[in-house]
Structure 1
């Protein structure tokens, strides 16, 4: 991402460490197909995890932000389909839960190492679920948000999502009350759970056309909004800035097709 200012590192790797490789593949395809039928409101738990006290203004920012995220999804869905209702997705905030042992790491190399990592992470998240009163079978997906202190003053938001699965992970600053990037990361990782793929290049910039909200725009740049599977408002080729609010985040035609909101 070019230019000065806050940094949002997008990881969004497949969390094969959570699923035991291909053993659950058929079941995941079936679960994904059921969710993409859009015949009911999908329920997503957004579970805040912390190692330290979360300031009250931050908790309030998250509470308000999750409500805004529901409204945003409803508006974006209505641009493509009129039969989904005002709340195609319900995001419900849980926590914060104090869970000092939880570690979000990139997948290990090698099958055995991944399986051991999967077992550890599954055990840690099960403890989080119990503490938060979250029953996994009652949710279409759970997005766990680890709130922690920043590094060297940087505003770092990163995430990992299980493609076609039920779990996403996000790391975010603990004292941040401007949570646009965090909310974008939450829905980004949930869309991974629905099978939607990233739409940015190796440098984090939007790929054309799938990484644009308005790929038919002329002139093409600057775009007005960041595609949710990119997270950057394109200002030119290989150039962009972070969105300042959810009003500057959108769902482009490629993502809408992957969500089965269009033919």
Structure 2
């Protein structure tokens, strides 16, 4: 009897989580009101230079995000004057759970659950209440090697975004933030993970262009501008990116 009751309680919890996820997805993709995307800076390396940068970080560093989403959404007929409201939240002082090196599904699920628990515990109070939480992991400008891979989760509607703590990198930082933000709305990557090359046609900003190369912009979820076959360029700012039709469908801009 007790075992059956425990199973019923567990099923009830799973059903509640599933319903919450479905309702959240519907609300996110209905675009009936602005979606609040709150940014929480974190000093990922713990160094003094990054701390100096974060102490002076303000909303101006992210001023291009809201107008970009408004412009791109309007191209698909979204009538909201502010599809996404970008809010700079307070700094977070506790590091998030480390991303597992094992790429298996069980490790990914375990990390996702721990990340969501950590976000619930560590997120500072913010007004307005966020629909999406992006934790910005800042690294010093002289960081050796490539930055860790950023992650955006539709389930839980949060992201872990790795960035450079440099004014010179703020425009490119906005590109990474925008990319991960759209993951939380259901957008998928549009590039080959082994080569980082944009997939054709969905990963090209102008797939019907003749000749195909050089492209002059990147599809946001592809993240690279194909200059010629085998040659890619990282966009320098959001102005060199577009939200393509396949992504617009995934996030609900096109029904």
Answer whether TM exceeds 0.5 for this pair.
Answer: yes
* Cα separation, partners in 2 of 1:224 and 1:241, compared to 1, 3 Å: same
**In the alignment, what sits opposite 1:63?**
59
Segments of 5+ residues of structure 1 without an aligned counterpart are 1-19
The alpha-carbon deviation at position 61 of structure 1 amounts to: 6.4
**In the alignment, what sits opposite 1:129?**
123
CA deviation vs aligned residue, 1:167-192 (integer Å, no higher than 9, x gap): 11112223453223322222212211
**In the alignment, what sits opposite 2:176?**
185
The structure with the larger Rg is 2
The alpha-carbon deviation at position 142 of structure 1 amounts to: 0.4
2:42 & 2:26 partners in 1: Cα distance? 30
**In the alignment, what sits opposite 2:217?**
225
> Contact 2:100/2:107 (CA < 8 Å) preserved in 1?
no
* Cα separation, partners in 2 of 1:154 and 1:181, compared to 1, 3 Å: farther
1:112 & 1:189 partners in 2: Cα distance? 20
Are 2:73 and 1:77 aligned? yes
> Contact 2:175/2:237 (CA < 8 Å) preserved in 1?
no
Segments of 5+ residues of structure 2 without an aligned counterpart are 1-12
Are 2:40 and 1:47 aligned? yes
Aligned residues: 238
Q: Which SS does the other structure have where 1:30 is aligned?
A: helix
Cα RMSD between the aligned structures?
3.1
Q: Which SS does the other structure have where 1:230 is aligned?
A: coil
* Cα separation, partners in 2 of 1:182 and 1:155, compared to 1, 3 Å: farther
**In the alignment, what sits opposite 1:215?**
207
The alpha-carbon deviation at position 248 of structure 1 amounts to: 0.5
Q: Which SS does the other structure have where 1:183 is aligned?
A: helix
Q: Which SS does the other structure have where 2:196 is aligned?
A: coil
**In the alignment, what sits opposite 1:28?**
21
Q: Which one is further off, 49-58 or 25-34?
A: 49-58
CA deviation vs aligned residue, 1:22-43 (integer Å, no higher than 9, x gap): 9834432221112211111110
1:239 & 1:27 partners in 2: Cα distance? 43
**In the alignment, what sits opposite 1:256?**
248
Are 2:109 and 1:105 aligned? no
Q: Which SS does the other structure have where 2:123 is aligned?
A: helix
The normalised TM-score by structure 1 is: 0.77
2:137 & 2:118 partners in 1: Cα distance? 13
Are 2:153 and 1:159 aligned? no
